[in-house]
Homo-oligomer: A and B are copies of this chain.
Amino acid sequence: MQPHDRATAEGILLTDQYQLSMAQLYFREGLHTRPAQFDYFFRSYPDYGMHQAGYAVTAGLEWLLDWMEQSSFDASVIELLRSKTTSTGKPFYDETFLEWLSEHGDLGSIVMRAVPEGRVVHANAPVAVVEGPLIMGQILETSLLNHLNYPTLIATKASRMVGAARGGPVLEFGVRRGPGSGSNAGARAAMIGGAAFTSNVGISQVLGYDPKGTHAHSMVQAYMAVGAGELEAFRAFARSYPDDCVLLVDTIDTLDSGVPNAITVFKELRVAGHEPIGIRLDSGDLAYLAIRSARELNRAGFDQCQIVLSSNLDELAIWQILSQIDAEASRYGVDPKALIARLVYGVGTRLITSAGHAALDGVYKLAAIENDGEWAPAIKVSENPEKVPTPGDKRVWRVYDNRGLATADVITQSDEDPAASTSMQLFHPHRPGSHRTLRQADISGLEPLHADVLAKGERLAGRPSIDEMRARRQADLDRLDPGVRRLINPHVYHVSLSAKTKALQSELVTRARETARDVADPQLSEP
């Protein structure tokens, strides 16, 4: 495979075969231009095993819209498709279909509403709604999922780490263990989720941020191998970067070599009129070593020096380190608050891979299809009740209580006004009979969650800066119950259906089941 082929594989053909099989079927059956609506949502929050997310942070939309603008069935794509054959060796695609694709098969026919990047989103509430001809909505599915699932997963993980770090600076540096070129999308998502910086030079600079980094063990090793030592390596670094001097102190021994050598160099720097930035600890008991290093730095007059921690950090590890510092630092004559204010967190693998839960279970489901000029709601009946989607042409609202905190996301039909009556009945999306009532008097705000982002080729969403998206996230987190933000066993945030939506769902399920034969429990039937 030649390198230029890789670009082809990243365009409109970043899709699953069955989308194109169905596309041709819809074309042949005359259904292809039928307007349809698809919902993008995730079914469950990431569950990392010992800890779980109670919310997610949406990311990836801008790059999805870029992809949609740039991807089309151009001549080289059509040529590639022409080579596919049926099992009997005939061309798989008709020429009339390929012609249609090259003339009309562009994503400019799509209308999209979505929750803006950086916002807090919840399970089962549509994050994006796609409206367009059935055929293009179907072809878009795979790439939309690919562009939104992974970044949302990573933004969510980053947000948790920043929370565990009590808002302290998190530095993303996962590209070396990250998933190929997906690592750039991951680094961007980490920044949206609250990471202060990334070490990834390319993506950071094109996003307009200074990439951050210190030096590797290899620099100290190189000096040692040529007959010099750690101190000489540190001096070389200070010579090159007198105003950006962060030294990695664990190549030989953190407390017996790295920290004393760093302090020697820091003193020399100060004499020369420069303030050192800090040290980095990359192995061992990070809480203990941070306390001991802080004590040595303080004694030497460097009580403002940062201490960068790295080595398999995630939200629980950060939380544990800070708890340990809270409890232990004073014993060593170090003020825990002052120490924690100096910490920087370098997080690699466990952020870029969302360790413990490596994929968001986002799905893209047909919600409605136009029939006789009206939206006909679509349903899927499943053996798992939690897989029954929410049908119809819908809207999503965030409801704020009298404390100003978000209390529920509510899914209504498009013709419903949730503010119209004195109370709202909120139904559980899957558990029959489970509902609660909210009085309007207890509601301080009602916010439509979706913005129009795409209208048949016209891009309505701008290109918000990372800072803007981070601010959205912070504003949403400030309005989220602390119990929902909790790292372990968070409260379950309510995503509810309006009475009308619930009734529609129940009616469609019943109707679908009736079209099936009598349903016996397959587990109990005779062999």
The 3 A-B residue pairs whose C-beta atoms are closest, nearest first, are: A182-B182, A17-B213, A13-B202
Please state if B175 and A16 are interface contacts (CB–CB under 8 Å): yes
Interface residues of A in 206-256 (CB under 8 A from B): 206-208, 210-222, 224-227, 229-230, 236-237, 239-241, 243-244, 250-256
A1 surroundings in chain B (CB, below 8 A): 62, 206-208, 463
In this assembly, does A438 line the interface, its C-beta being within 8 Å of a C-beta of chain B? Answer: no
Is there an interface contact between A222 and B257, defined as CB atoms closer than 8 Å? no
Min C-beta distance of A315 to chain B, whole Å: 15
Q: Give the residue name and chain of the B residue nearest to A383 (CB).
A: B284
The one of B179, B260, B376, B382 in contact with A226, judged by C-beta atoms closer than 8 angstroms, is B376
Q: Are A359 and B353 in contact (CB under 8 A)?
A: yes
Cβ contacts under 8 Å, A361 to chain B: 177, 349
List the B residue with the shortest CB-CB distance to A237. B25
Question: A149 and B177: CB pair below 8 A?
Answer: yes
A487 at the interface (CB under 8 A from B): no
Interface size class of A (residues with CB under 8 A): 35 or more
Q: A179-B179, A333-B527, A358-B358 provided; 16 other pairs, C-beta below 8 A? A: A1-B206, A6-B206, A14-B201, A17-B213, A25-B215, A31-B226, A84-B211, A146-B177, A179-B180, A179-B182, A218-B365, A218-B378, A225-B368, A227-B371, A256-B520, A257-B515
Of the candidates B213, B250, B331, B463, which one forms a contact with A21 in the assembled complex, judged by CB atoms under 8 Å apart?
Answer: B213
Q: Is A138 interfacial (CB-CB < 8 Å)? A: yes
From B202, B260, B331, A527 is in contact (CB under 8 Å) with: B331
Given contacts A84-B211, A237-B25, A355-B358, contact A13 B205 (CB under 8 A): yes
Known: A87-B244, A257-B515, A515-B230. A15 touches B182 (CB 8 A): no
- Give residues 184-215 of A contacting B (CB, 8 Å): 184-186, 199-208, 210-215
Question: Does the CB pair A517–B260 fall under 8 Å?
Answer: yes
Flag if A522 contacts B176 (CB, 8 Å).
Answer: no
Query: At the interface, yes or no: A83 with Cβ under 8 Å from chain B?
Result: yes
A21 to chain B, nearest CB (A): 6
Query: How many Å from the CB of A452 to the closest CB on chain B?
Result: 21
A430 beta carbon closer than 8 Å to chain B: no
Bound: A81/B288 CA distance, A = 37
In the bound complex, CA of A179 to CA of B354 (Å): 11
Find out whether the CB atom of A205 lies under 8 angstroms from the CB atom of B84. Answer: yes
User: Is the Cβ of A239 less than 8 Å from the Cβ of B28?
Assistant: yes
B366, A214: Cβ atoms closer than 8 Å: no
Interface membership of A512, Cβ < 8 A: yes
**Given contacts A8-B202, A9-B203, A210-B85, are A31 and B380 in contact (CB under 8 A)?**
no
Pair B353/A358 contact, Cβ less than 8 Å:
yes
Copies of the chain in the assembly: 2
Residues of B with C-beta under 8 A to A33: none
Indicate whether A145 reaches chain B with its CB closer than 8 angstroms.
yes
Smallest beta-carbon distance A436→chain B, Å = 30
Q: Is the CB of B9 within 8 A of A184?
A: yes
Per the bound structure, the CA–CA distance linking A46 and B264 in Å amounts to 41
A28 to B252, CA, bound (A): 24
**Known contacts being A353-B359, A369-B225, is A173 close to B256, with CB within 8 Å?**
no
Task: Tell me the minimal C-beta distance from A332 to chain B in angstroms.
Answer: 5
Decide if A141 is an interface residue (CB 8 Å cutoff): yes
Assess A366 versus B256: contact at CB under 8 Å? Given A6-B206, A13-B202, A22-B216: no
B-side contacts of A292, CB under 8 Å: 522
Is B186 touching A22 in the complex (CB atoms < 8 A)?
A: no
Question: Given A182-B182, A365-B218, do A213 and B252 touch, yes or no (CB 8 Å)?
Answer: no
How distant is A40 from chain B, measured CB to nearest CB, in Å? Answer: 11
* A150 contacts B by Cβ under 8 Å: yes
A-B contacts, 21 listed (Cβ < 8 Å):
A5-B206, A16-B175, A16-B211, A28-B239, A36-B222, A87-B277, A150-B178, A177-B360, A218-B366, A221-B365, A226-B369, A252-B513, A254-B522, A256-B517, A256-B518, A256-B520, A257-B516, A260-B517, A331-B527, A353-B359, A355-B358
